Amino acid sequence: MNEMPFTSPADFSAGVASQSPTERAYWFVFQADRLLVELGPPSPHPSGDPRVPSRASWAKLPLLKNNNWLWFEPARTLYLGRLAGTDCWAAEAPREAEAPPPGMGWEGLRALFSVLEDAHFAVAGRAIQLLDWDRSHRFCGRCGTPTEAKTEERSRVCPACKLSAYPRLSPAVMALVRREGEILLGRSPHFPPGMYSALAGFVEPGETLEQCLAREVEEEVGVQVSRIRYFASQPWPFPNSLMIAFICDWVSGEIRPQAGEIEDAKWFKVLQLPKLPSKISIARRLIDAAVQEMREGS
Ligand SMILES: [Zn+2]
């Protein structure tokens, strides 16, 4: 896979209303953060480690004409656009909805990475964010009046005070700090045991991405950096981030992990790296790219 996970597929065109409904449509139905999929049998345990949950050998999206097949009344339904000429719809199941029919199940989105087709996985990331946005903007944030969805663009408008709400993204900067033969990785208290990753933090109002990076690195580990180079970006739907990743060089300072935020941070030799995040996230690609760059001697 070349595309970053959750990147909009090239053959996806977003829309707010279906102009001429297609014969069949893909349904992205969520109950909280879990997606409704047809599931294959569990795959044989890859690691033999009982702590690693077993995964379905395959998962598919329901492909049906309309939502008549649902066994509950959806809390909300949104048109998403078209994927390779097929309409895509999102729907939200109420929490009290009964269990799915045989052969179907609710699966967490992360667990469907590399199980669900990549393009479907990406549109699912869009769907869960838009459902969440729609659910959270039913009332005007300024005056409390119920909002109305616009049909010509993705927004909800307050009929009383005219405030418009658009789907919101929270930009976050990720930084991989390097110096001679080593990279700086840290771990948050919520990481799986032994796993380290690049540093990351949300952009504050008034900051450039470069200022955010310098501030986050200084706050989290107490070092100063320079030569900030853009690497790549990734939509990250947990819950609504855009990750923007950079490589930079250490200039000065000894590692001093920020209490409460960073449990541990260290310089790792590129030939002796700890457990790293999975390839679902840009963090892993950033680390892999930097290590490659350093091994090639640039
Ligand atoms: Zn209002």
Which is it for strands 164-165 and 170-179: parallel, antiparallel or unpaired?
unpaired
Q: Is the pLDDT of residue 130 over 60?
A: yes
- pLDDT tens for 103-125 read 999 999 999 998 999 999 999 99
According to DSSP, the β-strands at 170-179 and 241-252 are parallel
pLDDT attached to residue 52: 58
CA–centroid distance, residue 155 to ligand 1 (Å): 14
pLDDT mean over 14-22: 90
Which residue is it, tokens 């053959």?
11
- Mean of the pLDDT values across residues 128-141? 97
Q: Say how many Å lie between the CA of residue 70 and the centre of ligand 1.
A: 34
Residue 43 is predicted with a pLDDT of 75
Q: Indicate the average pLDDT of the chain.
A: 93
Judged against a pLDDT cut of 70, whether residue 14 lies above it is answered with: yes
Kindly tell me if the per-residue pLDDT of 181 is higher than 90: yes
Return d(Cα 117, Cα 85) in angstroms, integer. 16
CA of 135 to the centre of ligand 1 (A): 16
Q: How confident is the model at residue 2 (pLDDT cuts 50, 70, 90)?
A: low
pLDDT of res. 19: 83
Instruction: State the distance from the centre of ligand 1 to the C-alpha of 134, rounded, in angstroms.
Output: 16
Per-residue pLDDT at 51: 57
Is residue 210 pLDDT above 50, yes or no?
Answer: yes
Position 204 scores a pLDDT of: 98
Tokens of 202: 């949300």
**Residue 235 C-alpha to ligand 1 middle, in angstroms?**
29
Q: Is the pLDDT of residue 180 over 50?
A: yes
**pLDDT for position 65:** 87
Cα 140 to ligand 1 centroid, rounded to whole Å? 5
- Residue 276's DSSP bridge partners are none
What is the per-residue pLDDT across 263-283, written as a single tens digit (0 to 9) for each?
999 999 999 999 999 999 999
Statement: residue 212 has pLDDT above 50 = yes
Which residues on adjacent β-strands are paired with residue 38? 60, 104
Report, as an integer, the average pLDDT of 138-166: 97
Task: State mean pLDDT over 211-232.
Answer: 98
- HEC string for the chain: CCCCCCCCCCCEEECCCCCCCCCCEEEEEEECCEEEEEECCECCCCCCCCCCCCCECCEECCEECCHHHCCCCCCEEEEEEEECCEEEEEEECCCCCCCCCCCEEEEECHHHCCCCCHHHHHHHHHHHHHHHHHHHCCECCCCCCECEECCCCCCEECCCCCCEECCCCEEEEEEEEEECCEEEEEECCCCCCCECECEEEECCCCCCHHHHHHHHHHHHHCCEEEEEEEEEEEEECCCCEEEEEEEEEEEECCCCCCCCCCCEEEEEECCCCCECCCCCCHHHHHHHHHHHHHHCCC
Tell me what pLDDT residue 41 has: 82
Placement of tokens 């935020």 in the chain: 261
Q: What is the pLDDT of residue 67?
A: 87
The β-bridge partners of 178 are 183, 249
Task: State in Å: Cα 163 to ligand 1 middle.
Answer: 5
| Cβ within 8 Å of residue 151, ≥6 positions away | 16, 17
pLDDT of residue 175: 98
Distance 91 CA to ligand 1 centre (A): 26
CA–centroid distance, residue 65 to ligand 1 (Å): 36
What percentage of the chain exceeds 90 in pLDDT? 86
Q: How far does the centroid of ligand 1 lie from the alpha carbon of residue 164, in Å?
A: 9
Question: Average pLDDT, stretch 124-140?
Answer: 98
Mean pLDDT value across residues 208-236? 98
For residue 204, report the distance from its CA to the centre of ligand 1, in Å.
26
Q: What does the pLDDT look like over 37-55, one tens digit per residue?
A: 998 887 766 555 555 566 7
* Beta-carbon-side half-sphere exposure of residue 126 (alpha carbons within 13 Å): 26
